[in-house]
Structure 1
Amino acid sequence: MVDQRDPHAGLHSEHGALAGEHPGRVRNPVIKVHDLAWLEFEKPDLERAAVFARAFGFTPVLSTAHELHLRGTDPGAPCVLIRKGARSRFLGPAFLAAARADVLRLAEATGRRVAKLPDTLGGVVVDLPDPAGLRVRVVSDPHELPALPPQEPHTLNFGHEVRRANAAQRPPRAPARVQRLGHVVLQTTKYRQTLDWYLEHLGLIVSDFLYHPGRRDHGPVMSFVRCDRGSTPADHHTLALTLGPANRYLHSAYQVADLDALAAGGEYLRDHGYHHSWGIGRHIQGSQIFDYWRDPDGFMVEHYSDGDMFDNTLEPGWAPMTASGLAQWGPPATADFLGLKPGRESLRELRALFAALREDNEFDSRRFLGLLKVARS
């Protein structure tokens, strides 16, 4: 009898795991976080940060000489917290626990202390260091800000399906209104150790693994990781981790209403002299329509729309990591996006590369050669 079962049933990718490869989840994590709550930064010029934030599409909800809180139109906590500091740096992510009891359970399991958050945020927090040394916060019960008027998506005609008649389409060249924080992408010299830490402690599950071309047997070097909300779909990735020569922030992504909001908002940013990094295009892993920008401090931020949403039944996909495989359509990935553009950032990365090759971590000479192959692909 011929087996008629679909070999890719339960997968979203053409290729699933081979025997013995990473399963992309753990059986009994300490807790399962519900979402990414916010990201925290330090910057020396909060006024300049606020001007860019408005142009990008955030709404400031707290602005003092020492602190800036930025929100989207969705209800909930602010999605970016910026504190005044001597230099620009990423402090770390905060994940939202499903319940306060989860914060207590995580604190007990790790020997950490639960603390109250400031009155401006509300709720409680436990702070943990991940294996790369990044401070990871898990919070519960922060104050929930009410929803703001959203930027409505446009009514579109699809082929012969007419939904809009006797009306012109005129999206304004204005800031895209950020709806919410979607994900953060981090680079680490301890990729496998860091990935397993997030799966074990926060209950995240892998949507997609990437490996260096021709080196799958050496294991994955990047993962797109989502929250496990059971049968309720969650973003394809809330966190993405990639192996590299330094532990650092790569970019964060913020959802907007649709392609018109993203494109017209990008024109507004361009008109105001901000640096465009890459886009517009559509990703493969996650399927988002994307557009990447740099803020005045050099941090990369992404507008996106129409991302994949997965429940916990889908198993990880596996694919080679290539520069050309970053998008289904759109312009080729730029040197700026890939971190290859000459400048201070690429110089720092080069210095980190030589330092990493001398240290005991996962970024060894084999991984370096694999990364060169990715850049040429």
Structure 2
Amino acid sequence: MADPSASVRDGHKDLHSEQGGVRGEHPGRAANPLIRVADIAWLEFDKPDLGKAEAFARAFGFGVAQRTPQQLHLRGTDTGGPCVILRSGARSRFGGVAFRAADEVDVLRLADKTGAAVHALPEVIGGVAVQLTDPSGTPVKVVGGLQQLPAQPVQVPQVANTARAGARINATVRPPRVPARVQRLGHVVLQSTTYLKTLDWYLDTLGMIVSDFLYFPGQRDRGPAMSFIRCDRGATPADHHTLALALGPANRYVHSAYQVSDLDALAAGGEYLLERGYVRSWGIGRHIQGSQLFDYWRDPDGFLVEHFADGDLFDNTLEPGWAPFTATGLAQWGPPVTRDFLDAGPRAAGRQAVSMFHALRDDNEFDLHRLRGLLKVATS
């Protein structure tokens, strides 16, 4: 990759990581990307039972933008397009991610540079798209000119009294035990057997930049094994990560995250989900990379989804931080990370063993040395 721009500043001193990069390490950005996407747009899934999927979605806090016998469009309260598009399918599977270009001109420019065709999106969504595939095989749309769904009423954050300032006088706090209203899609996490190749594709093609790198314990000399990647909006701050990418034994979806208003909404919404028999994977806690409050859940098909609030926002001047990839380093506070969240529990054991066997036989970045590093993560 080309050297990054010189107009970046040290992002690790008293900010978001105890370490920064050293000479020769991955710069975390491309000098001349094809375009710079503005945000994540939506995720696509196939589901065998849209009725069951809708019941969980409503309990999780989504609204429904469109429903047909074959499709379900889920939305947040923010203006914009859908957050998630569910399609009826024979089995539950992840179908890809869409990113929003700054404008339609960027969609046309990307099509010209990649040789991909521009096609019109369905009328209910509007706009145009270019269909690409990242080096891991994940379908990636870049979209522009979308119709804007009108904003919906938000879940108002609770008024807080602090030690020296009383904003709530003669009033109590009684957050209702209702679904935590999803505001928007925040990020998706993907695993790749060709991590570095795939990382560079997102930086070179979509103009994204790395906020933080993680490396396997004792393997910093082998390069990063995970990256938290944000959109480059120049001086306009963006989420700490819109995409997170990790090296692993399979090319797969890991989880996606949806913003809610505050801790009370997140916690009361979690109680609502528990009362209806849904399964918490891990939470409640506060992450280190990104700083967000988190609460992770399994949908009825086993896919991992996250409520989050109060995440970091960075402009494009911060350099990447570097830290070891450890289980204890995933949160500042909260319960210990669960084996279910790490995909290391009985439910995933057989699938993980098969994935590792095939990954070690194939020509990719996941070799025996990297396997040893990954196995150290859960115990470090």
The verdict on a shared fold, with TM-score over 0.5 as the criterion, is: yes
Contact 2:266 2:307 in 1 (8 A): yes
* Percent identity of equivalent pairs: 67
> Using the alignment, how far apart are the partners of 1:17 and 1:376 within structure 2?
25
Quick check: 1:367 aligned with 2:357? no
Quick check: 1:122 aligned with 2:129? no
> Using the alignment, how far apart are the partners of 1:285 and 1:35 within structure 2?
19
**Deviation (angstroms), 1:346:** 2.9
Q: How many residues align?
A: 372
1:302 pairs, out of 303, 306, 318, with 306
| TM-superposition CA deviations, 1:208-261 (whole Å, max 9, x none) | 000011110010000000000000000000000000000000000000000000
Q: Say which SS state the counterpart of residue 336 (structure 1) adopts.
A: coil
**Deviation (angstroms), 1:7:** 9.7
> Using the alignment, how far apart are the partners of 2:374 and 2:269 within structure 1?
33
Distance 1:194 1:6, change over 3 A: closer
> Using the alignment, how far apart are the partners of 2:19 and 2:183 within structure 1?
33
Residue number in structure 1 paired with 2:244: 240
> Using the alignment, how far apart are the partners of 1:118 and 1:6 within structure 2?
44
> Using the alignment, how far apart are the partners of 2:372 and 2:10 within structure 1?
36
Aligned residue runs from structure 1 range 120-159, under 5 A: 120-159=124-163
Letter in 1 for 2:65: V
Quick check: 1:15 aligned with 2:19? yes
Which ranges in structure 2 are unaligned for 5 or more consecutive residues?
1-8
RMSD (CA atoms) = 1.3
Contact 1:227 1:235 in 2 (8 A): yes
> Using the alignment, how far apart are the partners of 1:57 and 1:256 within structure 2?
9
> Using the alignment, how far apart are the partners of 2:344 and 2:14 within structure 1?
37
**Deviation (angstroms), 1:12:** 3.1
Quick check: 1:99 aligned with 2:106? no
| TM-superposition CA deviations, 1:104-138 (whole Å, max 9, x none) | 11111111100000111110000001001111000
Quick check: 1:69 aligned with 2:73? yes
Residue number in structure 1 paired with 2:361: 358
Aligned residue runs from structure 1 range 190-339, under 5 A: 190-339=194-343
TM-score (norm 1): 0.97
Which ranges in structure 1 are unaligned for 5 or more consecutive residues?
none
> Using the alignment, how far apart are the partners of 1:375 and 1:9 within structure 2?
27
> Using the alignment, how far apart are the partners of 2:309 and 2:92 within structure 1?
28
Q: Report the more deviating stretch, 251-260 or 98-107.
A: 98-107
Residue number in structure 2 paired with 1:167: 171
1:48 pairs, out of 38, 45, 52, with 52
Distance 1:174 1:117, change over 3 A: same
